[in-house]
């Protein structure tokens, strides 16, 4: 070092001094990569607990309806394709001229579409109902977002420092849900007890009212019989009154005749006395 310095001063130039290489411990450290979030479980896309219990039944019903409709369509297509051939054979065998020569008939080439039967229409309606039920029940199960518990667990794993707040919030929500559920259960139990009391009161009231109702029915039957008898007696009295009126009319006629006869007899006696007195 001294020789190089003297040589530099002697020549009038300063020789560049190379920096010593840094120690390996003094190299800048690279930032550590952030840990990747945990991969979702294989069943994250399909949350089996969130599937409605009757979704599988609806799917099976839809598959059965599709099979039934497919078999029915194939059967109707086969019948429609076989019908023109049979009709053409019958027409070719039966249609002849008078001299025995066969006629040339044109057989239909395209089968006519048959209308949908009643059973097929019912199956189609059932299929539509099953598909609509599946469309209503499956979106929650096929959603790409993980369920609430998985979201809470993943957030807790990704942020250990902030895991206390979601856990506390979830616990408070669960506590509120439990309190609401207990309240609803108590209200339901009260409603059930009230319904039981109403049923017991209904039975007692019906038992108490059954005897008076039966008595009223019997008394109404007796009154109906009495009214019928009174109506018969009234009709008989009306007949007797008509007969009495007819008898009184006849007696009045007879009395009038007797009075007329008496008057005539008195007149004759007076005439005879007058004749005797004149003689």
Residue 105's pLDDT band, with cuts at 50, 70 and 90, is very low
Range with top average pLDDT, 169-173, 228-232, 274-278 = 228-232
Residue 113, both tokens: 């579409």
Q: Over range 246-266, report the average pLDDT.
A: 93
> Could you tell me how far CA 91 lies from the centroid of its own chain?
53
Specify the higher pLDDT residue, 34 or 61: 61
Q: Who has greater pLDDT, 278 or 224?
A: 224
Tokens representing residue 257 in the block:
């005749």
Beta-carbon contacts of residue 210 (< 8 Å; ≥ 6 apart):
none
Mean predicted confidence (pLDDT) in 166-179? 82
Own/partner contacts of 110-114, CB < 8 Å, gap of 24 or more, are 111/80, 111/81, 111/83, 111/84, 112/80, 113/80, 114/76, 114/79, 114/80
- In the numeric block, which tokens belong to residue 154? 């993943």
pLDDT (mean) for 242-262 = 93
pLDDT grade, residue 107 (50/70/90)?
very low
pTM of the model: 0.29
**Confidence class for position 240, pLDDT limits 50, 70, 90:** very high
Rounded Cα distance, 253 and 130, in Å: 97
Res. 88 pLDDT band, cuts 50 70 90: low
Contact status, residue 84 vs residue 107, Cβ threshold 8 Å:
yes
Q: Is the pLDDT of residue 233 over 90?
A: yes
Q: How many helices (H) and strands (E) does the chain have?
A: 5, 0
Element (H, E) at 152: helix 148-158
Residue entry with tokens 């599937």 = 51
Residue 108's closest CA among 83, 90, 73? Answer: 83
- pLDDT at residue 68 tops 90: no
Number of C-beta neighbours around residue 62 at 10 A: 19
Token couple for 85: 């051939």
- 9 vs 15: CA distance, rounded Å: 9
Q: Could you give the 3-state DSSP secondary structure of residue 96?
A: strand
Q: Which residue has the higher pLDDT, 3 or 228?
A: 228
Reported as type and span, the H/E element at residue 18 is none
Weakest-pLDDT range from 1-10, 126-135, 163-172: 1-10
How far apart CA 76 and CA 115 sit, in angstroms, is 10
The lowest-confidence range among 66-80, 86-100, 201-215 is 86-100
pLDDT of amino acid 135: 78
Spatial contact of 137 and 54, defined as CB atoms under 8 Å apart: yes
Which comes out higher in pLDDT, residue 75 or 41? Answer: 75
Cβ atoms of 92 and 102 within 8 Å: the answer is yes
pLDDT at residue 81, as a whole number: 76
The H or E element containing residue 16 is: none
> Cβ(54)–Cβ(133) under 8 Å?
yes
- Name which of 236, 214, 234, 237 is nearest 226 in CA terms: 234
The overall average pLDDT reported for the chain is 72
Question: Which H helix or E strand runs over 181?
Answer: helix 164-278
Task: Say how far apart CA 95 and CA 102 lie, in whole Å.
Answer: 7
Q: How far is Cα 213 from Cα 25, in angstroms, rounded to an integer?
A: 109
Q: Is the pLDDT of residue 156 over 60?
A: no
């Amino acid at each position: 070092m001294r020789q190089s310095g003297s040589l530099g001063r002697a020549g009038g130039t300063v020789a560049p001094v190379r920096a010593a290489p840094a120690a390996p411990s003094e190299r800048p450290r690279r930032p550590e990569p952030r840990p990747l979030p945990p991969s979702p479980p294989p069943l994250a896309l399909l949350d089996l607990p969130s599937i409605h219990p009757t979704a599988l039944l609806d799917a099976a019903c839809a598959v059965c309806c599709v099979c039934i409709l497919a078999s029915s369509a194939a059967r109707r297509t086969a019948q429609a394709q076989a019908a023109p051939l049979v009709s053409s054979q019958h027409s070719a065998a039966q249609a002849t001229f008078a001299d025995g020569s066969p006629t040339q008939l044109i057989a239909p080439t395209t089968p006519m579409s048959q209308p949908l039967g009643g059973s097929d229409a019912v199956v189609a309606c059932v299929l539509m109902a099953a598909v609509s039920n599946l469309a209503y029940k499956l979106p929650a199960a096929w959603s790409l977002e993980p369920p609430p518990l998985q979201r809470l667990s993943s957030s807790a794993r990704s942020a250990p420092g902030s895991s206390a707040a979601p856990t506390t919030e979830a616990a408070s929500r669960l506590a509120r849900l439990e309190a609401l559920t207990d309240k609803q259960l108590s209200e339901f139990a009260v409603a059930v007890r009230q319904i039981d009391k109403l049923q017991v009161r209904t039975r007692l009231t019906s038992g108490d009212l059954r005897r008076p109702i039966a008595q009223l029915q019997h008394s109404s039957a007796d009154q109906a019989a009495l009214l019928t008898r009174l109506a018969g007696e009234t009709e008989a009295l009306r007949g007797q009154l008509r007969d009495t009126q007819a008898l009184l009319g006849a007696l009045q006629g007879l009395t009038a005749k007797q009075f007329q006869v008496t008057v005539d007899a008195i007149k004759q006696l007076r005439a005879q006395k007058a004749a005797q007195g004149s003689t």
